[in-house]
Each structure stands twice: as structure tokens, then as C-alpha cells.
């Protein structure tokens, strides 16, 4: 997802440019896979230091449900506003000081701004902590191991009273915030 921003870097502060986003992203994450193109809109705005990229993107990720352990696909929407800084001064061709992570993302020596790494990070930040294939996923039966979404079983799930007592004890032992 490369954009040539040489012209925009030469333009006065405040100049902007709108572009569409379309591309593939590999999350490098064993627990989540992007299974659809990443599409969206971005506005590049010239600032004093570089280019501010603001926009939205949508895709679909495949995750594993924490309750039934089945894979499922979930749409994902991200909103971003991130700085991109030149590594080469556009008019003189002189190298600029290296870009640190806190400052933003680097624009390469040929004035190509790449949204891929930024969007990869945004997608990972927006993944659910506890992925559920659906709100009311019935999960796996603790007695027979059956996936109760596919066929309900008639197992009697009885809470062991000794464990229940321990759970309450543990909760009471938690330090209070106040
Ligand atoms: Zn599930
Ligand atoms: Zn069962």
C-alpha cells in the first residue's frame, strides 16, 4: 500500500490529498489472519514535519472463539490518524535524522509512504481480547467435550461445592481498590 507523496511534500503546509486504500496485510499473528482485502479511505495532509494520514479501513479477520474453539470470521473497522516523516529532504535530497517510533512512521528515500505497517498495528490493536463466534456461543460441554452450538447434549453440569467455596474465598481475598 504505497503512495508517492513527493508532490505533497513539496506543497505548502495544510495541503491535502485523498486516496483510497486497497491491499493485503499479513498480521504475523498466529491467532488472527486477515482473510479479505483491506479497503478504505485516507487523507494525507502536509504538516510542518511530514504528512498526517487520517482515515478508516475495513477488513475481515479469522479468529478462534474462546468458548467453542472454532474458527470464525469477523468484520473489523479501524480509524487512524498517524504521522509519517520523510527520511530524505524532498528538495535537497539530503538525509533527515532517523525517525523514532514515537515520532511516527518513516517515508522511504523515494518518497513512498507505506500504510501497511501502520494498518497492521491498527488491526492488531482492534482485535477483540476475548473473541466470540457469537454473543450467545454455547461453548464446549465441560462433561463430554461436545460443541454445544452444533448439537446440545444432555449432560448434567453440576458445580462442585468445594470448588465453589474456594472461588468465593479467592474473591474475598482480592485486595480492595478503596
Ligand atoms: Zn464459539
Ligand atoms: Zn455434554
167: three-class secondary structure by DSSP: helix
Query: What value does the mean pLDDT take over residues 137-157?
Result: 90
Per-residue DSSP letters for 105-120?
EEE-TT-EEE-HHHHH
Residues less than 5 Å from ion ligand 1, measured at CB: 65, 67-68, 133, 137
pLDDT tens profile 66-106: 999 999 999 999 999 999 999 999 889 999 888 888 899 99
CA distance readout (Å), 144 to 29, 130, 153, 157, 164: 31, 23, 8, 10, 21
Taking the centre of ligand 2 as the mean of its atom positions, its distance from the CA of residue 153, in whole angstroms, is: 5
Does residue 159 carry a pLDDT above 70?
no
Taking the centre of ligand 2 as the mean of its atom positions, its distance from the CA of residue 69, in whole angstroms, is: 16
Q: What are phi and psi of 23, to 5 degrees?
A: 180, 180
pLDDT tens profile 20-49: 999 999 999 989 999 999 999 999 999 999
Nearest to 128 by CA among 82, 79, 74, 80: 74
List all residues 6 or more positions away from 104 whose beta carbon is below 8 Å from its beta carbon: 50, 82, 83, 84, 85
What are the cell numbers at 65? 472463539
Taking the centre of ligand 2 as the mean of its atom positions, its distance from the CA of residue 151, in whole angstroms, is: 9
Does residue 174 carry a pLDDT above 60?
no
Q: What is the pTM of this model?
A: 0.81
pLDDT tens profile 95-144: 988 888 889 999 999 999 999 999 999 999 999 999 999 999 999 999 99
Amino acid at each position: 500500500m504505497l503512495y508517492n507523496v513527493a508532490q505533497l511534500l513539496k506543497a505548502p503546509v495544510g495541503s491535502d490529498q485523498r486516496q483510497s486504500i486497497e491491499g493485503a496485510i499479513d498480521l504475523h499473528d498466529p491467532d488472527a489472519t486477515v482473510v479479505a482485502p483491506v479497503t478504505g479511505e485516507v487523507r494525507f495532509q502536509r504538516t510542518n514535519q511530514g504528512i498526517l494520514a487520517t482515515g478508516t479501513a475495513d477488513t475481515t479477520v479469522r479468529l478462534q472463539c474462546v468458548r467453542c474453539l472454532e474458527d470464525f470470521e469477523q468484520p473489523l473497522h479501524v480509524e487512524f490518524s498517524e504521522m509519517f516523516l520523510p527520511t530524505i529532504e524532498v528538495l535537497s535530497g539530503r538525509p533527515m535524522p532517523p525517525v523514532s517510533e514515537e515520532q511516527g512512521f518513516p517515508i522511504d528515500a523515494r518518497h513512498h509512504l507505506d500504510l501497511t505497517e501502520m494498518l497492521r498495528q491498527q488491526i492488531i490493536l482492534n482485535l477483540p481480547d476475548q473473541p466470540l463466534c457469537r454473543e450467545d456461543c454455547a461453548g464446549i460441554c465441560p462433561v463430554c467435550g461436545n460443541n454445544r452450538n452444533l448439537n446440545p447434549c444432555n449432560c448434567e453440569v453440576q458445580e462442585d461445592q468445594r470448588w465453589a467455596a474456594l472461588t468465593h474465598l479467592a474473591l474475598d481475598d482480592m485486595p480492595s481498590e478503596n
